[in-house]
A and B are shown apart, each in its own frame.
Chain A
Amino acid sequence: MSETELSRPISRREWLLSDAPQSRRQAQLGALYQGWLTFRANKLAMFGLIILILLFGMAIFAPWLAPQSPFSQNLADRLQPPSAEHWLGTDSFGRDILSRLIHGSRITLFIVGTVALIAPVAGLLIGTVAGFAGGWVDQVLMRITDIFLAFPKLILALAFVAALGASIGNAVLALALTAWPPYARLARAETLTIRNADYIAAARLQGAGPTRLLIRHIWPLCVSSLIVRVALDMAGIILSAAGLGFLGLGAQPPMPEWGAMISDGRIYILDYWWVAAMPGLAIFIVSLAFNLLGDGLRDVLDPKGAKE
């Protein structure tokens, strides 16, 4: 986006930053552009964004990027240290670790993406309804939330997977089921402050019903803090997914899931450190990138910052 901005005449920037937009489209684009400028000013967040874009590219083009098949075994070449042939070395079956990491990014993105879709949406729905309706609805929904919160996340996810059977789909489901309660809490707290605002009262006086108030007036204000929270929680979700993989309850071998890869390398960690360290490093970098991105998004989306 920064290149397009440079190549166009300066008036484009002025048009976007105008305080008196002439059309709906200009107003919306202007708001987006303002947000982008704020985000861009945060160097670390940009760094995180670039890493994530690279990760996406890696996942999309995995078959072309990976030097070898992630599954082809070569027992003669097992546990080779990083070299020109195998940049990140090979594992105990002689599979190329780099190729496995590249293909593994697809699995990681799938897990993270699905959980990030399910958990906040469920949380938003439950939290805003509880906060807006109040009374016994609030009581019931929040006690359910408390029950979920009372268990340690990983243990609960373990229980779910154990009950449903070990597979990557069930791992995602289990993670989503354990991840929603904090979002519900957050959405409810936001709703409680918003629901007594004058603009909600004004909308009520226009004859707006509860569904419209919830969807058109309350959700747009809750969504931004949820997005920030999701980006910050991504790291945790990746780690939980890796944790499940490590315990053998997520992706099943020979799938190149990063957590499962660490688990495989565990036995050799003292003599052949790269087998566990390389996927560990990948998890670390991606988690960090999501955290940085979340920080940047907070600058852009936080209603307190937007006042300025």
Chain B
Amino acid sequence: MLNVSDLDVWFGDPPDRVDAVRGAAFSVAQGESFGLVGESGSGKSTILRAIAGLIDSWSGQIEVDGRQIEGARRDRGFYKTVQMVFQDPYASLHPRHSVDAVLSEALRLQGMGDIDRRITRLLEDVGLGKGFRFRYPHQLSGGQRQRVAIARALAAEPRLLLLDEPTSALDVSVQAEILNLLKELREEHGLTYVMVSHDLAVVGHICDRLAVMQQGEIVEIMSVDALRRGAGEQDYTRHLIAASQ
């Protein structure tokens, strides 16, 4: 589903150039859930943004669903395959757009018809009733906002969902609800996940495999079972596991 190799991402021009990601390589199979973990500044979110086309200064190969991707330009077909959920639900919804406006715009941009029925369906999918359709973001709680953001991502009926710390801004009880929702959606829609998180327990709950990142490089790719056993091959991985116990 997703193949990344030799990925370098940088910001700025020399001499101020900062290399955010160096030589990253991993692949995610159809239907798999893959985690990217690391501390802030390790480049994990940067990888997601480069895949999504939000950063154009990168080199290497990114292959989504068998098709090579270049630069920051993506065609409509790409957005029908890949969607993203952002970290902070308070920043990822337009403050002046109602839920209805957000979802109908997403559906229209994907060229979908029958918008009324689809919006109802999407809201049900993410566990929000019809009653939420005409609310503005300031009338929603953090968890409800994140559900709307997930519904927006699902509007295009994608197959690969990029999740950028989707629960780190939420309370634990709400986090549990969202994590459950993500698990259900994956089973129902046969989605593939790439999830970025600093929380090993969250990644352990959602993912099958994960890559540990440190200072822009992937230091280790391991299975979640190995993570549970605390069996990291690298010192850094073991350190991270110990710190989050």
Contacts and interface: CB of A to CB of B under 8 A. Distances in A.
Q: Do A and B bind each other?
A: yes
Interface of A: 19-24, 26-27, 31, 197-199, 201-208, 216-217, 220-221, 303, 306-307
Contacts of A307: 138
A141 B87 CA distance: 34
A20 B132 contact: yes
Contacts of B131: 20, 22
B113 to A, nearest CB: 16
Interface residues of B, number: 36
B5 to A, nearest CB: 23
Given A21-B134, A201-B84, A216-B105, 13 more contacts: A20-B139, A22-B134, A24-B100, A27-B100, A27-B136, A198-B91, A202-B84, A202-B86, A202-B149, A205-B83, A206-B79, A206-B105, A217-B94
Interface SS majority for chain A:
helix
A220 B135 contact: no
Contacts of B92: 198-199, 201-202
Contacts of A208: 105, 109
A22 B134 CA distance: 6
Nearest to B85: A202
A303 B98 contact: no
B54 interface: yes
23 contacts: A19-B135, A19-B139, A20-B135, A20-B139, A21-B134, A24-B100, A24-B134, A27-B134, A27-B136, A197-B91, A198-B88, A199-B94, A202-B84, A202-B149, A202-B152, A205-B82, A205-B153, A206-B106, A206-B110, A206-B152, A208-B109, A303-B95, A306-B95
B110 A207 contact: yes
A198 B138 contact: no
A66 B131 CA distance: 55
B117 interface: no
Given A23-B134, A303-B95, A204 B139 contact: no
B122 interface: no
Contact of A201 (B86, B98, B139): B86
Contacts of A221: 94-96
Nearest to A18: B139
B219 to A, nearest CB: 28
Contacts of A19: 135, 139
A77 to B, nearest CB: 58
A203 to B, nearest CB: 7
Nearest to B87: A198
Contacts of B49: 201
Interface in B29-79: 49, 52-54, 76, 79
Interface string B149-177: 10011011000000000000000000000
B211 interface: no
B62 to A, nearest CB: 15
B93 interface: yes
A197 B86 CA distance: 11
A233 B83 CA distance: 44
A205 B52 contact: yes
Contacts of B152: 202, 206
A184 B156 CA distance: 36
Interface in B130-150: 131-132, 134-136, 138-139, 149
The 6 residue pairs across chains A and B that have the minimum distance between CB atoms:
A198-B92, A27-B134, A21-B134, A198-B86, A199-B94, A198-B91
Nearest to B54: A201
A248 B105 CA distance: 53
Contact of A207 (B79, B93, B94, B100): B79
Contacts of A207: 76, 79, 109-110
Interface string B86-124: 111001111110101000011001100000000000000
Given A20-B132, A205-B84, A199 B93 contact: yes
A202 B94 CA distance: 10
Nearest to A308: B138
Contacts of B96: 220-221
Interface centre among B96, B139, B155 (most CB of A within 10 A): B96
Nearest to B156: A206
Contacts of A303: 95
Contact of B98 (A24, A197, A206, A217): A24
Contacts of B83: 205
Contacts of B106: 206
Contacts of A199: 91-94
A21 B135 contact: yes
Nearest to A223: B96
